[in-house]
Amino acid sequence: MRNTMIVALALAGASLLAVPASYAQTTASKDAPTVTDQDIKLLRQDLRSQKKQLIAANLTLTDAEATKFWPVYDQYSAEMTKIGDQKYALIKEYAQGFGSLKDAQAQSLLDRSLALDEAVAQLRIKYVPIINKVLPGTKTATFFQIDRRITTLIDLQLASQIPLVQDQN
């Protein structure tokens, strides 16, 4: 099971690699292939689907637990998606301004990025007792471990594709 999760996580993260790089290329070169908002939307839907499949494959639930857990997970995922929408908008703003960002703009992007990190942490804190009502403590902890691993991998892949602010000159 562990190897399955590692391989699946690698595949989920790898599918994200091309998008930010392509998006950055579109801002730098008019001849580069265009990555549309629709492309990003479809990719994000696919990643959410893969994430749910990974959780299902690695979180051992009884039928009764599954019946209670998945509707709560869907609510959690919907709220996390809203934060993801804001992250995407922030990355898009950064890409559009890359090459001409001033100190105040860079600081604003940083502040908003940190606020989104905080929003993710607060969402997890909000959902721990909610999920703990439908799952025992060990399974609640396992869910959040899996969720954090997947999110961290995706964030790492994404961050590795975003150029540093100082490289805009």
Q: What is the pLDDT of residues 126-158, one digit of tens each?
A: 999 999 999 999 999 999 999 999 999 988 988
Q: Is the dihedral of CA 56, 58, 59, 62 positive or negative?
A: positive
d(CA 83, CA 109): 15
Query: Is pLDDT at 163 greater than 80 in this prediction?
Result: yes
Comparison of pLDDT for 8 and 31, the residue scoring more: 31
Q: Is the dihedral of CA 52, 46, 109, 162 positive or negative?
A: positive
Strands (E), 4-137: none
* Single pTM value for the model: 0.78
Nearest alpha carbon to residue 12 among 42, 40, 54, 41: 54
**Of 12-21, 46-55, 56-65, 119-128, the least confident:** 12-21
Rg value, the chain, Cα? 18
Give me the pLDDT at residue 106, please. 92
- Residues 86-103 have a mean pLDDT of 90
d(CA 81, CA 45): 9
Confidence class for position 9, pLDDT limits 50, 70, 90: very low
d(CA 3, CA 121): 27
Start-to-end CA distance of the chain, whole Å, equals 46
DSSP label at residue 101: -
